[in-house]
């Protein structure tokens, strides 16, 4: 008879599964704030576990070419594109300098720009820094000047000796350099709405700038404390390891698919060619040899961190506190609470938006939680029907 607490509430999953001298529970902490979407974890997972290729699928709706966790993608790096106006969250790029760059100032001095000849995007009219940049060539010399002498060569209209055609041509409306003064009919360079070199919103402020951001998350099986897939598997193909993880034994799986519908996260999937269920094993073979799982080993930014779950939870709480101090109040943990609907996950996440944005259920609940009560009600109903049947026969015979 299983412990009545095995379907809900905090517990040690390995000991509950019968491991008397189990090591500390191991798991993943995925910090999405430092995920760069490189998909190294996906490749490492496939290479180590011999997972078949998923094909090159262009979804047509995202740069994410995997789409979801499947039988052939045990790790899935989700790309969430958000073309939302800035201001819905903490201001991006807060604290950037708002002054004119030194390079533009130097260019204005070198070009001797006079008068309000142009504007920098987001700056009021009258700024000459943009005109100064447009009045210089790629080497920083004023247009029409001989290279290296900072001015026009005499007698040839600004062209260097022997370089006909560099200076102003006959018929030009005016000189091509920025020495024209206001009111002389020879306008200097003008800002025509072209993108400038400044960071977006330098002059307009954060609230006036549109902000397109990518949220990236390397999703994986959560290795739940209360794993419904374990409860419904009829063959024992799914089992709890001594590390507290959940593994599928593919040679025992009969392809019934019960675990697929039981998973509250939609992680488990069947392969079309054999019908068996497949998912992340948290590299059980590597754990037994004292090695780090392949995905965590390959992650270049340490977005995927592997270790004892209790230690990871402390590390995750510290990371959230740091992000809050740095002006990211939307940072939150997901799947870390042992009192949630699945008893806490062995693989949990730091998110920068609501769980639904990442395709995660906001309040997951183990789907077998109510099985004891359901069987109890079914038993009472069966007894009631049997009693009614007996009463009917007894009453009819009398």
The CA distances from residue 157 to 154, 177, 362, in Å, are 7, 11, 72
Q: Strand 76-85 vs strand 210-219: parallel, antiparallel, or unpaired?
A: antiparallel
User: Please, what is the end-to-end C-alpha distance for the chain in angstroms?
Assistant: 43
* Residue 210 confidence (pLDDT): 52
DSSP 138-203: TTSPBTTSPTTTSSPPTTTTTPPTT-TTSSPPTT-SS-SSS-PPTTSS-------S---SSPTTTT
Element (H, E) at 219: strand 210-219
* Residue 368 confidence (pLDDT): 84
Centroid of chain to Cα 340: 23
* Residue 6 confidence (pLDDT): 55
| Per-domain residue ranges of the chain | 4-86+214-358, 99-144, 372-398
The CA distances from residue 40 to 43, 63, 218, 222, 282, in Å, are 5, 15, 10, 19, 16
User: Quick one: CA dihedral 48, 50, 51, 52, positive or negative?
Assistant: positive
Which of 189, 213, 188, 190 is closest to 200 using CA atoms?
213
* Residue 51 confidence (pLDDT): 94
Which of 384, 344, 345, 95 is closest to 220 using CA atoms?
345
CB-based contacts of 11: which residues, under 8 Å, 6+ apart? 3, 5, 225, 343
Instruction: Looking at the structure, give the CATH architecture of the domain made up of residues 4-86+214-358.
Output: 2-Layer Sandwich (3.30)
pLDDT, one tens digit for every residue, the chain (398 residues): 344 445 656 678 888 888 888 899 999 999 999 999 999 999 999 999 999 987 777 777 777 888 889 999 999 999 988 765 444 454 444 444 455 444 444 444 444 444 443 434 444 444 455 445 544 544 555 545 544 444 444 444 444 444 444 444 444 444 444 444 444 444 445 444 444 455 554 555 555 555 567 899 999 999 999 999 998 999 999 999 999 999 999 999 999 999 999 999 999 999 988 899 999 999 999 999 999 999 999 999 999 999 999 999 999 999 999 999 999 999 999 999 998 989 999 999 999 999 999 999 999 998 887 777 777 889 999 999 998 888 888 876 66
The CA distances from residue 60 to 65, 66, 378, in Å, are 9, 12, 48
Element (H, E) at 259: helix 258-262
């Amino acid at each position: 008879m299983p412990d009545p607490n095995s379907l809900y509430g905090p517990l040690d999953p390995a000991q509950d599964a019968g491991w008397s001298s189990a090591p500390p529970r191991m798991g993943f902490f995925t910090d999405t704030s430092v995920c760069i979407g490189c998909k190294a974890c996906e490749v490492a997972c496939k290479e180590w576990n011999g997972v078949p290729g998923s094909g090159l699928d262009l979804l047509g709706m995202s740069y994410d070419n995997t789409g979801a966790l499947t039988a052939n993608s045990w790790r899935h790096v989700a790309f969430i594109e958000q073309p939302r106006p800035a201001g819905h969250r903490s201001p991006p790029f807060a604290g950037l300098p708002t002054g004119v760059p030194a390079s533009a100032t130097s260019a204005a001095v070198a070009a001797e720009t006079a008068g309000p000849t142009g504007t920098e995007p987001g700056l009021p009219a009258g700024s000459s820094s943009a005109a100064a940049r447009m009045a210089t060539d790629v080497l920083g010399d004023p247009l029409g000047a001989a290279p290296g002498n900072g001015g026009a060569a005499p007698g040839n209209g600004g062209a260097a000796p022997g370089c006909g055609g560099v200076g102003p041509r006959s018929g030009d409306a005016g000189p091509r350099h920025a020495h024209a003064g206001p009111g002389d009919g020879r306008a200097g360079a003008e800002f025509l709405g072209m993108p400038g070199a400044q960071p977006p919103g330098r002059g307009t402020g954060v609230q006036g700038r549109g902000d397109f951001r990518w949220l990236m998350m390397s999703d994986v099986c959560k290795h739940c404390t209360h794993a419904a897939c374990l409860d419904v598997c009829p063959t024992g193909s799914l089992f709890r390891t001594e590390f507290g993880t959940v593994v599928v034994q593919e040679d025992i799986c009969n392809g019934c698919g019960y675990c697929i519908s039981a998973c509250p996260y939609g992680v488990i999937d069947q392969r079309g060619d054999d019908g068996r269920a497949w998912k992340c094993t948290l590299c059980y073979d590597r754990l037994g040899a004292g090695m780090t799982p392949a995905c965590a080993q390959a992650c270049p930014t340490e977005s995927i961190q592997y270790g004892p779950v209790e230690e990871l939870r402390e590390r995750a709480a510290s990371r959230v506190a740091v992000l809050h101090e740095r002006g990211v109040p939307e940072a939150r943990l997901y799947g870390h609470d042992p009192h949630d609907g699945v008893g806490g996950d062995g693989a949990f996440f730091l998110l920068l938006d609501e769980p639904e944005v990442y395709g995660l259920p906001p309040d997951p609940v183990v789907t077998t939680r109510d099985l004891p009560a359901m069987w109890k009600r079914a038993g009472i109903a069966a007894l009631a029907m049997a009693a009614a049947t007996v009463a009917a026969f007894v009453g009819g015979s009398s």
